[in-house]
Structure 1
Amino acid sequence: MKIKDIEIPYEKDRSFRYRIFEVLPGLLTWSMFVAPFVLAFFAPHVLIFIFITYILIWFVKSIGMLVRNFQGLNRMESFMSLDWRSMNNDLQEGFIRTKEATPSWHYDNIGRVKDTKPNDIYHAIIVAAYNETREILEPTIQSVLESNYDMKRVILVLAYEGRDGAKSERPCLDLADEYGHSFAGVITVKHPFNPKEVRGKGGNITFAARELEIYLQKSNINPDNVVVTTLDSDNRPHRQYLPALTYLYVVCPDPLYASFQPVPIYTNNIWDAPAPMRVIATGNSFWNIVLSMRPHMIRNFSSHAQGMSALIKTDYWSVRTVVEDGHQFWRTYFRFDGRHEV
């Protein structure tokens, strides 16, 4: 499949069939809103049956979600408590040094490691910025530095917008100078205005990733050994995120056909937000925990990670949609003819 086949077509290039499928989700949504009013006049008994069925379905689903929420929370806490750095050392050496509190699946993974070892892996962290100030960007960089991981295997990419008078350039340049010595490398990339791109994160991080590709070539770093994580400017990755991601990438049978999705939890500034927003944030956090127990439903969302080689083959993210994260799943799925998992 050619790259052009997985890109969203421009409006002038969209066929009638494409337009039908584009309109269909909205049409179905509006039909669900309008249908009860129509049925109330012409078939009230059918409407009552639909309402009762709908309530019963959601009652059963709510019980299932509650159970999955507790299971997901316990699983997330147990994973956060693991010594991922020590387990990476086990993978590197080919045997387990400390057997106390070692999960059973770790024994199986020892034999799954082939050519790529944990010490071969580099992490590229792309932080997208638009109008964010130093007060927002610096804690994100500091949270990366607090990771239980060797920062000399981490490349920081500060991708800031150059359009519409965006104000993140000065903070990004200052932070790069201040924290540059702490990483394997720091790249600052100014994304120029491009009339063929949708104004959003996709064009910014794609432009930055292309600069990253040039950097890797000059540094003689194999893109097969580079895992790219995209962060919003206010994200705070957990200190175990990088070692856990390294572990999962190394034991993955074929990381070219995989992407990695952490569980987003919206608690950074929850007490500074209005009460209604706290309710929404808490509900979204619960849903993400539930979703982590349903791997068949997981799609790329918000901050996620993917191998550099896979990104090169998919021509990075879409620059024609503001939903570059969710679209990346399908972009990769169709690029590799269905061989893609999260």
Structure 2
Amino acid sequence: MSRLRSPSEWVAPLVPLTALAILPLGPLLFPRIYLFLLFFYFTLFLYSQVNHVCKFYMTSCRIRSTIVKWNKHIRSKSMDQSDMPTGVRHPSTKLTERSHAVMDDDKLEEMEQVQYYENPNYLHAIIIPNYCEPEGLLKDTIGRLATHSNAKTNYAIFLAMEETEENWKVKGDRLASFFQDRFAHFIVSGHPANIPGESRGKGSNVAYAARFGCAELLRRGVDRRRVVLTVSDSDSAIPELYMREVEDALNRSDNPHYLLLAPPIFFSRNCYQVPAAVRVTDITWSAMVMSNLSNSKGLSFPCSTYSLSMVLAERVGYWDTDADAVGEDMHMWLKCFFKTDGQVRTAPIYVPINLTNVQTEGYLSNVNARYVQAKRHYNGVADVAYTLKNAFTQQRGAPKGSLLGDASSSLAMAASSAAAWTDKLTVCFLILEAHMIPATSGWLMFAAVPLMQFILFPPFSALALVSPAQNPILTSEFYAMLWNMVKIITVLLPFPLFATLSIYEHLHRSIDRDFLQKPKAESRQWKHLLDYATLPVAAWLFMTLPSTLACVKRLSQKEQQYIVSEKLFHEDDAPVAVLTA
């Protein structure tokens, strides 16, 4: 139990255990203090949720704005190529009638807006980790990338296979042959099993593929300063707009090698083929990721798909591969942040990455598969200890440009140090919010007020555990008022969620219509509002329970088994353009 010798390791398991313990003990042993705890917890929770609604709204507006700008670019390309034969037009010019509208009067401004989409400067290496995924799904994911206009000159595919998968090399070679000459580079790696100190999972697979692929690119004469690594999931439908926006963000940055670029995630590929509880869970997950991106200081975490330069990956030693790095996306951001003395920032890329919901045959089987996926996601609670350890580690060296003995430099160093500490504390708060709120809010929100009401005001006198003389709500006007305020706040707690879902409904339809070009009949309908009736069950089953179990399991040294989420894929449903070599 050597890991538990660190105080930071006890934070994650103790928080939910304490929350569960005080539910019955608080009203019995220290009701006055417990009332204050509930008041401050619910007030802080309500404030944070209102804040998330505002940030989610900002993100949704920026997503729509980015899509509008892209559609203008496509419309411009379509008009420029209108005289060309159909067979040689840009693949992105397949538009709906809506996209063929007349251009704005201010054409010059429009052309300036879309000009940066041309002439890419970087080689984009897309890492696709996978293990026993359907070959059709991989072909679909890679095929979508192959349709991008610069894929043949500026894309490299790192197909990250696992050697433990039977016939992995045959499968990898078959895919490489299928996409021959459609990318600048196509590199297949096989991650060996049982590497000492490694834990199986996406992180170790990505780490091996990144090292292997980058070494191969360098051997082929590629300049490392030109390489941008994009980590994808096997089911990520990455649009060309994402790559263009990444290029733009890097070109505008003073130091592109201190950026980690993160897009929102979106579930619209098979969402109507899964149970409503699964669908709603991924909707709320998507909304949380989107609100997280609108952080004014650039301290936001990527989820699933993200990009960073090869130079930054090399500087921090690539991805960690031990059991505590199972939350590979968030953990890599934290590693980059701490290894660069807090200089790394997130550049939000307001382009939704369309993912696939977990899907199996059978309703209960599908629900169970989503629960298994939730347990794996919340094993990322290991990042709580990692963050607390690194946040309070003494930094080495002085800030760049400082001169010892210079008064102005001393002031600059003090200001820089204060800013660094503020950023570290902010990151600690964000990590605790991401992992401790799910593990406590469900229990406290659903049970705290009803249980306290039952203990202090039982329906039958025979059930009384606290005498009226010891009941602070009956003996003190102040605590009676505080109790009423707590109950009022608990009534208000769901309203930010309702606002979030309202914004999401509008955004989902907008993305389907304006970006994914889906007909109205294939987007969300009014009938889908009934999905939200499953929210209480989904919140407890896919958030509260798995996050609590993940926290408590930190008390054990046993490594968790890595199970890949099952996702059905029918090749007949894939776009014809994708499956045509």
Contact in 1 for aligned 2:4/2:10 (Cα 8 Å): no
Matching residue within 6, 18, 24 for 1:37: 24
Correspondence for 2:271: 270
Q: Deviations over 1:217-276 (max 9, x none)?
A: 222111111100011111111230111111111221112222111111133221122211
Given the two structures, how large is their TM-score scaled by the length of structure 2? 0.49
Contact in 1 for aligned 2:154/2:184 (Cα 8 Å): yes
| CA shift for structure 1 position 167 | 6.0
Contact in 1 for aligned 2:120/2:247 (Cα 8 Å): no
Contact in 2 for aligned 1:118/1:246 (Cα 8 Å): no
Counterpart CA distance in 2 for 1:179 and 1:279 is 36
1:16-35 mapped onto 2 (5 Å cutoff):
16=5, 19-35=6-22
Contact in 2 for aligned 1:118/1:250 (Cα 8 Å): no
Secondary structure at 1:227 match in 2: strand
Provide the alpha-carbon RMSD of the alignment.
2.8
Structure 1 unaligned runs (5+)?
1-10, 87-96, 111-116
Contact in 2 for aligned 1:39/1:47 (Cα 8 Å): yes
Contact in 2 for aligned 1:133/1:167 (Cα 8 Å): no
Contact in 2 for aligned 1:226/1:307 (Cα 8 Å): yes
* Identity between Structure 1 and Structure 2 (%): 21
Correspondence for 2:211: 210
Contact in 1 for aligned 2:121/2:247 (Cα 8 Å): no
Counterpart CA distance in 2 for 1:51 and 1:121 is 52
Correspondence for 2:109: 99
Counterpart CA distance in 1 for 2:207 and 2:46 is 43
Contact in 1 for aligned 2:126/2:232 (Cα 8 Å): yes
1:1-342 mapped onto 2 (5 Å cutoff):
14=3, 16=5, 19-83=6-70, 98-100=108-110, 119-147=120-148, 149-163=150-164, 165-166=165-166, 168-196=168-196, 197-296=198-297, 297-320=299-322, 321-342=325-346
In structure 2, relative to structure 1, the CA distance for the partners of 1:333 and 1:190 (3 Å cut) is same
Q: Deviations over 1:94-147 (max 9, x none)?
A: xxx9423756xx99xx9xxxxxx9543110001001010112211211221233
- The alignment of Structure 1 onto Structure 2 pairs a total of residues equal to 309
Q: Deviations over 1:276-314 (max 9, x none)?
A: 111100101111221121254412332211101111122
Q: Deviations over 1:199-222 (max 9, x none)?
A: 111221211112222222222111
Counterpart CA distance in 2 for 1:314 and 1:60 is 35
**Amino acid of the residue matched to residue 128 of structure 1?**
P
Counterpart CA distance in 1 for 2:341 and 2:9 is 22
In structure 2, relative to structure 1, the CA distance for the partners of 1:282 and 1:300 (3 Å cut) is closer
Counterpart CA distance in 1 for 2:167 and 2:251 is 38
In structure 2, relative to structure 1, the CA distance for the partners of 1:120 and 1:68 (3 Å cut) is closer
Counterpart CA distance in 2 for 1:201 and 1:308 is 18
Contact in 2 for aligned 1:128/1:205 (Cα 8 Å): yes
**Amino acid of the residue matched to residue 190 of structure 1?**
G
Counterpart CA distance in 1 for 2:47 and 2:286 is 21
Secondary structure at 2:265 match in 1: coil
Contact in 2 for aligned 1:122/1:153 (Cα 8 Å): yes
**Amino acid of the residue matched to residue 100 of structure 1?**
E
In structure 2, relative to structure 1, the CA distance for the partners of 1:295 and 1:193 (3 Å cut) is farther
**Amino acid of the residue matched to residue 341 of structure 2?**
D
Higher helix share: 2
Secondary structure at 1:120 match in 2: coil
**Amino acid of the residue matched to residue 322 of structure 1?**
V
In structure 2, relative to structure 1, the CA distance for the partners of 1:64 and 1:79 (3 Å cut) is same
Compare CA radii of gyration and give the structure with the larger one: 2
Contact in 1 for aligned 2:263/2:302 (Cα 8 Å): no
Decide which moves more: 295-304 or 198-207: 295-304
Contact in 1 for aligned 2:189/2:213 (Cα 8 Å): no
**Amino acid of the residue matched to residue 288 of structure 1?**
V
In structure 2, relative to structure 1, the CA distance for the partners of 1:135 and 1:338 (3 Å cut) is same
Counterpart CA distance in 1 for 2:327 and 2:48 is 27
